[in-house]
Amino acid sequence: MRIQVLKNSTQRRSIFMKRRVFLLIILILLVPATTMFAGTNGYLLNCFCARSFARGATVMAIPDNGSVLLANPAGLAYLPHRGLGVGLGILAPSVKFENGVNELTEANQSYYPMPFFSYVDPMVGSKWAWGFGFNVVGGMGTDYELKHDLFRDQTGALIDQEYYSNFGYMKIGPGFAYQINDNFSIGAGVQVYYGMLDFKMPFSLEPVSSLNGIANPMNNMTFGQLFAADPALGGFGYSEVTAYAELNDLTGFGFGANIGLYYEVNDKFSIGVAYTSPTTMNFTGDAKMDMTAQLNDAFGKAVQGVMMQNPTFTVEQAQGAVMQMFGDMGINMQEGVATDYTDVEVDFDVPAKIAFGFGLKPAQKLTLGLDIEYIQWEDAFDNMPMAFKKGTNANINTMINGDAADGTFDYDFPLAWENIWNFKMGADFKLNEKTNLRAGYIHGSNPVPANTVFSIFPAIVEDHLTMGIGHKFGNIALDLAYIHAFNNSQEAVSTGHLIGNEYNGSVDELSENLFMTTVGFSF
């Protein structure tokens, strides 16, 4: 009998190891898929697994699956058994944009995978519990072909430009809980954040504060002042200067933590509280910036000015005079104005979040949940610091810094997002011993102000309807969820947009459909 027990124990360990290897393979396959995805409130994903998401993403005070690990780790102590969870969501957003030179245009359809993995162990018989997991936290992505008033062909016709963004990040780490008594537990976790960032779009700057090189040593006029000055005073009259910019394959890391409390008032009512720390992710990579369209426009205006002052000049003579003028300012027109920045750093902040949750069982088969979150976007997304280094184009270096060898450029990309409240509510009905039906609703205010909403980052949805079903096959649980984020439209300010004049009076629209499945193994 003793030998038989050892044999069965060995078999169980073998089966468990095979399961772990199988799930590890799934995890390895899923991780590369996270290079593009989108979020649903601001850029944050409301929940991480199908079971909780189907009932309105309520999880703070309903610890019945591995998503508590990264939401409220205190709930780990009240899970009924050890478990492995693997999930995948597919998000399909519909994004549209309209402005003065673009009729309402829908972005190219994209599908964003969002994986989830957790291992949790409540360590039955002990006051301790722990877990380890990873999930997609949030992100955003769009892919447009849009027109910009500056970019034209030789006939003056507008040329489509690519407006593209692909930002997303995940977090991975352990969590722990300690059960103080039968009704109360505390928990904490630490996480490593990993993300990817790409974007391509016309990139506009206020000239006076951005182009600090000296254009005219006689009066110390900078290139920015030259570009902004009234044409009657010898300037170009630009309120902004625009380059086509590309940030390519930036990757970043950060570190964060969360803490939580869970209290079972009685067998019908529970309360959960959690805090997620703010995090700064430091992205590094390279970038390209091309000011050719802007310089061509300025060159054309200068040629017209020379010909007006010298009516006998031919076009060729006027062009030669303008080239000489730029040459005297240290700009070699033959070298163009396109540069590579081979060292780029972008600080991307993740907001702090405070969450409160309530779980109620008014009947044996019915569980109701309410989660309330306060997301501190103001501190995280006031601006996005960007540092460009090792620029390769002498002309751009001269205009920005007054030194052909100084290839640095710092810019705080304006965002000015606002703090928001997020309300999640849902129901979980036990149809029978194996099947649960779930539904819920989520409302979160739009954090994006009208003076910074723009085409490639329109994180503006507010209302979501959720529903789903769960079914148990022995020790395997399959949960399915569908989430619809209702279309939200936002009109930008008519003047004074902080990112670019092209967004004055523009309109963004966003709706989303999310399909999610989670498979859980209990043992």
Give me the tens of pLDDT residue by residue for the chain, a chain 523 residues long: 222 333 344 443 444 344 444 434 334 334 443 334 344 566 667 677 999 999 999 999 999 999 999 899 999 999 999 999 999 999 899 999 999 999 999 999 988 888 999 999 999 889 999 999 998 887 778 999 999 999 999 899 999 999 999 888 899 999 999 999 999 999 999 999 999 999 999 999 999 999 999 999 999 999 999 999 999 888 999 999 999 999 999 999 999 999 999 999 999 999 999 999 999 999 999 999 999 999 999 999 999 999 999 999 999 999 999 999 999 999 999 999 999 999 999 999 999 999 999 999 999 999 999 999 999 999 999 999 999 999 999 999 999 999 999 999 999 999 999 999 999 999 999 999 999 999 999 999 999 999 999 999 888 999 999 999 999 999 999 999 999 999 999 999 999 999 999 999 999 999 999 999 999 999 9
CA distance 497 to 139: 23
What is the total count of domains within the chain?
1
**pLDDT (0 to 100) of residue 37:** 38
CA distance 453 to 476: 44
Whether residue 133 lies inside any domain: the answer is: yes
Please report, for the domain that includes residue 358, its CATH number. Answer: 2.40.160.60
Whether residue 387 lies inside any domain: the answer is: yes
Whether residue 314 lies inside any domain: the answer is: no
Beta bridge partner(s), residue 302: none
Whether residue 18 lies inside any domain: the answer is: no
Return the half-sphere exposure (C-beta side, CA atoms, 13 A cut-off) of residue 118.
32
pTM of the model: 0.88
Where in 44-127 does DSSP place strands (E)?
83-99, 102-106, 112-121
**pLDDT (0 to 100) of residue 152:** 95
Whether residue 307 lies inside any domain: the answer is: no
Beta bridge partner(s), residue 243: 203
3-state secondary structure 400-457: HHCCCCCCCEEEEEECCCCCEEEEEEEEEEECCCCEEEEEEEEEECCCCCCCCCCCCC
Whether residue 262 lies inside any domain: the answer is: yes
Whether residue 253 lies inside any domain: the answer is: yes
- Domain with 361 in it: 36-291+337-522
Residues 6+ apart with CB under 8 A from 103: none
Rg (CA), the chain: 28
Whether residue 20 lies inside any domain: the answer is: no
Whose tokens are 């009066």? That residue is 219
Provide the pairing of β-strand 353-363 with 269-276: antiparallel
CA distance 483 to 519: 18
Neighbours of 248 (CB within 10 A): 14
| Structure tokens belonging to residue 370 | 């309410």
